[in-house]
Structure 1
Amino acid sequence: MFTQYDPESASLTCELRDQFDAFTAGEWDNDALAAHQTRKLREVAAYVRANSPFYREKLEGIGDGEISALRSDDLRRLPFTTKKDLRQTQLGILSCPVSDAWIFYETTGTTGAATPCPRTNADTIHNNTVLTTYYRDVLAAHGDCQVIGVSGPTELHATGDTFGDVCRNLGHAVAKMWPHSPVIGFDRALEVVRLLPITGLFCTPGMAMRLAQKATEAGLDPQKDFCLDILMLTGELMSPSLLANIGALWGAEARNALYASQEASVLAAATSDGSLRTAPLINLYEVIDPDTLEPVAADSAGVRYGELVVTNLYTGAKPLIRYRTGDMVRMTDPAPGATVPAPALEAVGRVRDRLLLNGHLINGYDLENLLLRHFRGYQDYQITVARDDHGKDLLSLTLKADPDSRQEAVKKAAEECLDTLDTPLSIGFGAPGPITSTGAMVSWKAARVVDLRTESSIENASAERIAGTRA
């Protein structure tokens, strides 16, 4: 409704809707996309240099002529922006005063200084247009009489506002409920999910499993006593194995819904072909080697694997130039017939969350996928890494599940781990505890991995502190 009182926002909404509809329908060729990205890159570079104290200094050596000649394929002429820059610069990164924004968010600040993430109307309209366009067919597959739950934090966080607005755009009712809130709690959240009933739920993978666990403890069957058709999961690492397990727990479709951050906003979203696809109308993407900082070439399968770097292509409160996300990704160009003609993206874990196991460097996504591949029906999990007296790394997996009838899966998981990583795996059954619920606040590794080979980190301490309040 606010757009009726803001003609500029109303006009932008219509413009972006039409652009995205044409793009997803395949009406943009490579030349049209490159021209759009080049024009927007020049606009954003000039905008941040003129308005952001940080970028005014960072881009001081780049003249007007260079900016006006920038092309989408020569980003390497611009410097990187890092998380450290955001933490140190704080409000100095902004390209407009906070009073020009419609809302103020910030990062969680659990492992360092929280960084400001205000959003202008333009920021929100650009990002929510991506989600509205991409989610339309995903949610339409489950009918048009849906009530969608959003179980994410709301204080200084975009989760509830973003998904609520997108569902409203698509004509779905929304119930926002944060089970960790003392006002709501898990019992009331489950009651709302069951009685409305909620047919779709946006939440983290950890929250989906914790809700199933709490439902079981209350004597309810997640599959029989609830009416969930689809779980739209985000905020944490999630491998195909984990997605399949969560779908099995609830008897529902489980999707990786979104790759995004408070700092850089929407970077990729679910489409009806089952992929997370990038948003090239509003971002430029690079994949670099995190050690050499050089661009990564595609392998024989057309996949680029490395750290994701993103440049926003819209002028708002805090557009970022060549922002190093710190996340490892696999990016693949779209095949003919893709639902959205944009690269598919798999976020496979933070650069610093990779584990070296007996000479094999593995990211969290692939490790999780390997260890959990043969198990279904568990309500939580945790991995422990140790080293024996001979210097050999050892893995153990704890599952919150009934051990009965799982011995064949235990055998297969141990064999595959040894074959793939030359690392013995033992599997036990029990309750890992509340620390596994902290992944979205801290990191997958701090929440899911107990690495006995290393000293406790700031992230470990933060995860333990948060878990202590949730015990």
Structure 2
Amino acid sequence: MFTQYDPESAALTEELRGMFDDFRAGTWSADDLRAHQTAKLRDVLAHVRAGSPFYRERLAGLSDGALSALRSDDLRSLPFTTKEDLQRAQFDLLSLPVSAAWTFYETTGTTGRPTPCPRTNGDTIHNNTVLTSYYRDVFAAHGDHQVVGISGPTELHATGDTFGDVCRNLGHAVAKLWPHSPVVGFDRALEVLRLLPVTGLFCTPGMALRLARKAVEAGLDPRRDFSLDVLMLTGELMSPSLRDNIGDLWGADVHNCLYASQEASVLAAATSDGTLRTAPLINLYEVVDPVTGEPVAPDADGVRYGELVVTNLYTGAKPLVRYRTGDMVRMREAGPGAAVPAPSVEAVGRVRDRLRLNGHLVNGYDLENLLLRHFRGYLDYQITVADDGAGTDLLSLTLNADPDRNGRDAVERAAADCRAELDTALDVGFGDPGPITSTGAMVSWKAARVVDRRNPAAGTSVESRSAERIAGTRT
């Protein structure tokens, strides 16, 4: 492998593998972790202040003495970094020249200017070590030698490189197949899935649904005619209800495998206990009120609910300091029996994707989970929000599903749950929402899944127009 040809990369790989093995084994105390995070935080701040024009200006008030005394729990003394900062600063945010990286990625730019995301060998090794360590037991439950499909874009995007490298680390064969590519297409992708056969698949929840739909249209049964044991899904919102439906469609074990972004890299990964767990060896995490920016205290159940803020703890091309992800999360400390002694996290939707329904502010994760919990076997869905003209919000759910399997009882239970939890009436119909629902990973869950008709005078949002444009190319 490459790291064996580069002494620095080989040494870092060996060091991180040992650290993660020890951390997972529970040999790190809270003091050990705090000391590690404090030392790495100081390294990162010195690195970005020296190399990044953006952070040199942003951290001008941080003296050498203050930096050397800074601890991991002193983050509130530092300013936030926002998505708008990334779009404005562009290459000025980098702490190293692109020539120091091994690869160049960028954000999709579907709803704004793309931002550069180069990665050094160190960036990749830090992030891929997390995935290799956490995924080992997930794949081991299905045998030592898997053939794993990776269905995601590769141009200027990390999906194929990241999961391919991690599968190689774990000893599994890889087939990269992107059905939206004119070189591959859905027919050939399905053929490859059957031919090899592919036993594991990385893709988005929307792609898992779309592949199942294409298989059914071709006269195939996803459960009977394919050999998938495990689906590793990421890139879009996925509630437990949607996860269970996808598992039912394919007859496979389904994991929400990764919480990450092109700009911030790996933030949490699937573990064998069925949860996404954070990576505190390479990131510092905060949960803040999305309006005030103040830290959120745990509730009575020990859950912190708010916007996630992350600080990378490794020096590389583009470490971020107190980066406001714009994502709402629920975070809970690890308890007894956790597969990895790190907090669990549920990413429940973007701050701006929340919907207010008859006075209730609801995130996408909880709304999806509520509306879909009684239905199975559907190949797609879409939500429509309207009002009755007198100020009362109404919901409609369109399912691409067999009405006989999802009959009156399921419809009535879904409507009753919606009325009880959101004081909102729900109508359920059956049909094809069209290709716009496939755009969630490129744009947002709300733009892909929700049609909001309550204020037609406001026009459609930039994200909705982007989703429509992408969907037009996929018709």
* TM-score, with structure 1 as normaliser: 1.00
Residue in 1 that maps onto 2:355: 355
Offset of residue 302 of structure 1: 0.2
Letter in 2 for 1:464: E
Residue in 2 that maps onto 1:413: 414
Residue in 1 that maps onto 2:170: 170
Offset of residue 407 of structure 1: 1.4
Map 1:271-282 onto structure 2 (within 5 A).
271-282=271-282
Offset of residue 4 of structure 1: 2.2
The whole-number CA distance in structure 2 between the counterparts of 1:370 and 1:47 is: 45
The whole-number CA distance in structure 2 between the counterparts of 1:133 and 1:99 is: 29
| Secondary structure at the counterpart of residue 222 of structure 2 | coil
Letter in 2 for 1:183: V
The whole-number CA distance in structure 2 between the counterparts of 1:444 and 1:182 is: 25
Offset of residue 133 of structure 1: 0.1
CA deviations 1:134-159 (Å, max 9, x no partner) are 00000010001210000000000000
| Secondary structure at the counterpart of residue 107 of structure 2 | coil
Map 1:428-439 onto structure 2 (within 5 A).
428-439=429-440
1:297 aligns with 2:315: no
Residue in 2 that maps onto 1:366: 366
Offset of residue 453 of structure 1: 1.6
Letter in 2 for 1:271: T
Residue in 2 that maps onto 1:466: 470
The whole-number CA distance in structure 2 between the counterparts of 1:2 and 1:342 is: 30
Offset of residue 333 of structure 1: 0.2
Map 1:173-322 onto structure 2 (within 5 A).
173-322=173-322
| Secondary structure at the counterpart of residue 70 of structure 2 | coil
Letter in 2 for 1:113: R
1:385 aligns with 2:385: yes
| Secondary structure at the counterpart of residue 391 of structure 2 | coil
1:42 aligns with 2:46: no
The whole-number CA distance in structure 2 between the counterparts of 1:146 and 1:5 is: 27
Letter in 1 for 2:441: A
Q: Which runs of 4+ in 1 moved over 4 A?
A: none
The whole-number CA distance in structure 2 between the counterparts of 1:227 and 1:165 is: 23
Residue in 1 that maps onto 2:140: 140
The whole-number CA distance in structure 1 between the counterparts of 2:442 and 2:146 is: 29
Letter in 1 for 2:466: S
Letter in 1 for 2:431: G
The whole-number CA distance in structure 1 between the counterparts of 2:465 and 2:35 is: 47
* TM-score, with structure 2 as normaliser: 0.99
The whole-number CA distance in structure 1 between the counterparts of 2:4 and 2:254 is: 36
**Identity, % of aligned positions:** 78
- Structure 1, 425-434 or 65-74: larger mean CA deviation: 65-74
Residue in 2 that maps onto 1:332: 332
The whole-number CA distance in structure 2 between the counterparts of 1:168 and 1:306 is: 36
Offset of residue 5 of structure 1: 2.0
Letter in 2 for 1:463: A
Offset of residue 3 of structure 1: 1.5
The whole-number CA distance in structure 1 between the counterparts of 2:228 and 2:87 is: 39
Letter in 2 for 1:355: L
- Structure 1, 54-63 or 446-455: larger mean CA deviation: 446-455
CA deviations 1:150-192 (Å, max 9, x no partner) are 0000000000000000000000000001000000000000000
CA deviations 1:188-228 (Å, max 9, x no partner) are 00000011000000000000000000000000000000000
Letter in 1 for 2:360: H
Letter in 1 for 2:415: A
CA RMSD of superposed structures (Å): 0.5
Letter in 2 for 1:457: S
The whole-number CA distance in structure 1 between the counterparts of 2:396 and 2:383 is: 6
CA deviations 1:58-114 (Å, max 9, x no partner) are 000110111111111110010000000000000000000000000000000000000
CA deviations 1:240-260 (Å, max 9, x no partner) are 000000000000011100000
The whole-number CA distance in structure 1 between the counterparts of 2:127 and 2:2 is: 17
Offset of residue 125 of structure 1: 0.1
Residue in 2 that maps onto 1:94: 94
| Secondary structure at the counterpart of residue 415 of structure 2 | helix
The whole-number CA distance in structure 2 between the counterparts of 1:292 and 1:89 is: 24
| Secondary structure at the counterpart of residue 183 of structure 1 | coil
